Amino acid sequence: MKAILEKLANPGFDLEQVRSDFAYLEQDRPIIYLDNAATTQRPNQVIERMAHYYRYENGNPLRGAHCLGAAATEAMLASRIKVAQFIGSKSEREIIFTRNASESLNLIAYAWGLNNLQAGDQILITHMEHHSNFVNWQFVAQKTGAELSFIELTDDYQLDMQDYRNKISERTKIVAFTAASNVLGTMPDAAAIIRIAKEYNALTVVDAAQFVPHVKINVRELDCDFLAFSGHKMLGPMGIGVLYGKAKILEDMTPFLYGGEMIEYVEDYESTFAQLPYKFEAGTQNVGGMVGLAAAIEYLEDIGLEKIAAYETALADYCLAKLEELPYIEIYHPKQGARGPAIAFNVKDAHPHDVATILDYHGVAIRAGHHCTQPLHRYLGLNSTNRASLAFYNTKEEIDLFIEALKDVKDVMQIDI
């Protein structure tokens, strides 16, 4: 605990300055926002960059011969390069902008899965996937006849690597897994999963929606084939997401959506398609969202993702230690291995929605429900859970107030433990 408290007292960045960048903290009633896995808050720098774009640079990208069309095209290119550099991609051609991680994962399912899988093939996913990396593969399995299989979890909420080795085979064509569970916080060994998949020539899909905001990623070192994430979970705006794909694989794929600016030539009965990345970006792009995402990346990089990860780990460890002191709390979070700052728990004998409502009365925002992971909850024998998910702008004092509010839940719900 001493090391944790020291880290929290010395985060390695100016926490006070950071908190002054978030307007939600200026409101009269202080909000203790612990729902960052659902969506983060945005710093003023992101909001101001977007406002600047809409005020001074707004045109239709790739379409206008005039200066504002060119400004929008330039803003789009600069944002794409920023994202490519942020995740270590070798070219901005490998960065497809989508609406969110869900759309990115659907794009792979529709444009690769439906065209490359058949009966006898296997799609391997895990029991801790968000519905966005689950229902899309169910759909592909139903349409193609491929078999959908699941890697089991251990008692410590880790991915069971032995079970993975047992299940993967020459039949496995795709391994799709989350790099960080939005419920358990589990961060499986993505590099090992990908290495093993390669032994069988299976493609790998990494759902990094809950990973990218917390830990530095490098897609070239990881050697994944696809990686998906959302802007709004990493300080950026809603409505912008990213699909990274290896250029060679993307080039061989048919488009997902058809229409404006994704074409090369359109004849009456057939068309040819634009080069990467535009082949996958039909219609007018969300340039305001792209510049907001680029500004969010700049903000994270200015602080430093290593510093962010170290501070968030200490804050999550502190929160876990405090939760463990309460005998009426059940925690669903790994004790070993890499973990993100999402902590699922239940208050014994209390419904998660009641807990969240009482906490809201205390100004504490957490999530209650199945968090878009019904199969995981069923697998764990749970109907629903509460989830506190932390970010680097949260503080030890906020965690203390959250714990005090939980004590009130015990009184209000008359829990006799």
Ligand X SMILES: Cc1ncc(COP(=O)(O)O)c(C=O)c1O
Q: How far is the CB of 101 from ligand X (least distance, A)?
A: 4
Q: How far is the CB of 228 from ligand X (least distance, A)?
A: 7
Q: With contacts defined by CB under 6 A, name the span among 96-104, 264-272, 282-290, 326-334 that binds ligand X.
A: 96-104
The footprint of ligand X on residues 15-74 (CB under 6 A) is 37
Q: Does 385 bind ligand X (CB under 6 A)?
A: no
Nearer to ligand X, 122 or 132 (CB): 132
Q: Does 174 bind ligand X (CB under 6 A)?
A: no
Q: How many positions of this chain bind ligand X (CB under 6 A)?
A: 14
> How far is Cα 290 from Cα 74, in angstroms, rounded to an integer?
11
Q: x/- binding map, residues 107-136, to ligand X, per CB under 6 A? A: -----------------------x-xx---
Q: Which residues contact 284 (CB under 8 A, 6 or more apart)?
A: 60, 61, 63, 260, 261
DSSP per-residue string spanning 37-57: TT-----HHHHHHHHHIIIII
Helices (H), 109-147: 114-116, 135-144
Please identify which of the residues 67, 224, 319, 372 carries the catalytic annotation: 372
Q: With contacts defined by CB under 6 A, name the span among 205-213, 298-306, 307-315, 379-387 that binds ligand X.
A: 205-213
Position among 92, 121, 207, 312 found at the interface with ligand X (CB under 6 A)? 207
Tokens in use for 280? 């996958």
Q: How far is the CB of 351 from ligand X (least distance, A)?
A: 22
Strand partners of residue 126:
151
Q: Does 389 bind ligand X (CB under 6 A)?
A: no
> How far is Cα 329 from Cα 60, in angstroms, rounded to an integer?
52
Is residue 261 within 8 A of residue 283, CB to CB? The reply is yes
Is residue 172 within 8 A of residue 124, CB to CB? The reply is yes
Q: x/- binding map, residues 211-250, to ligand X, per CB under 6 A? A: -------------------x--------------------
Position among 36, 40, 102, 286 found at the interface with ligand X (CB under 6 A)? 102
Active site residue 67: no
Q: With contacts defined by CB under 6 A, name the span among 206-214, 291-299, 388-396, 405-413 that binds ligand X.
A: 206-214
Q: How far is the CB of 373 from ligand X (least distance, A)?
A: 8
Is residue 231 within 8 A of residue 237, CB to CB? The reply is yes
Amino acid at 226: F
> How far is Cα 51 from Cα 260, in angstroms, rounded to an integer?
26
Nearer to ligand X, 4 or 83 (CB): 83
Is residue 126 within 8 A of residue 149, CB to CB? The reply is no
Compute how many other C-beta atoms are within 10 angstroms of the C-beta atom of residue 369: 16
Q: With contacts defined by CB under 6 A, name the span among 53-61, 69-77, 95-103, 361-369 that binds ligand X.
A: 95-103
Is residue 362 within 8 A of residue 401, CB to CB? The reply is yes
Nearer to ligand X, 71 or 256 (CB): 256
Q: Is 344 helix (H, G, I), strand (E, B) or coil?
A: strand
Q: How far is the CB of 269 from ligand X (least distance, A)?
A: 35
Maximal CA-CA distance, the chain: 74
Tokens in use for 89? 């991609």
Q: Does 178 bind ligand X (CB under 6 A)?
A: yes
Position among 210, 286, 385, 386 found at the interface with ligand X (CB under 6 A)? 210
Nearer to ligand X, 227 or 406 (CB): 227
Q: Does 100 bind ligand X (CB under 6 A)?
A: yes
Q: How far is the CB of 361 from ligand X (least distance, A)?
A: 25
Q: Which residues contact 24 (CB under 8 A, 6 or more apart)?
A: 31, 33, 41
Q: How far is the CB of 132 from ligand X (least distance, A)?
A: 4
Nearest to 313 by CA among 345, 346, 338: 338
Strand partners of residue 229:
242
> How far is Cα 208 from Cα 214, in angstroms, rounded to an integer?
10
Strand ranges of the sheet holding 241-245, from the earlier edge strand across to the other edge? 95-98, 241-245, 226-230, 203-207, 172-178, 122-126, 147-151
Q: x/- binding map, residues 309-348, to ligand X, per CB under 6 A? A: ----------------------------------------
Q: How far is the CB of 73 from ligand X (least distance, A)?
A: 26
> How far is Cα 153 from Cα 131, in angstroms, rounded to an integer?
17
Position among 4, 18, 62, 101 found at the interface with ligand X (CB under 6 A)? 101
Which residues participate in catalysis according to the annotation? Answer: 372
**Residues binding ligand X (CB under 6 A):** 37, 100-102, 130, 132-133, 178, 182, 207, 209-210, 230, 372
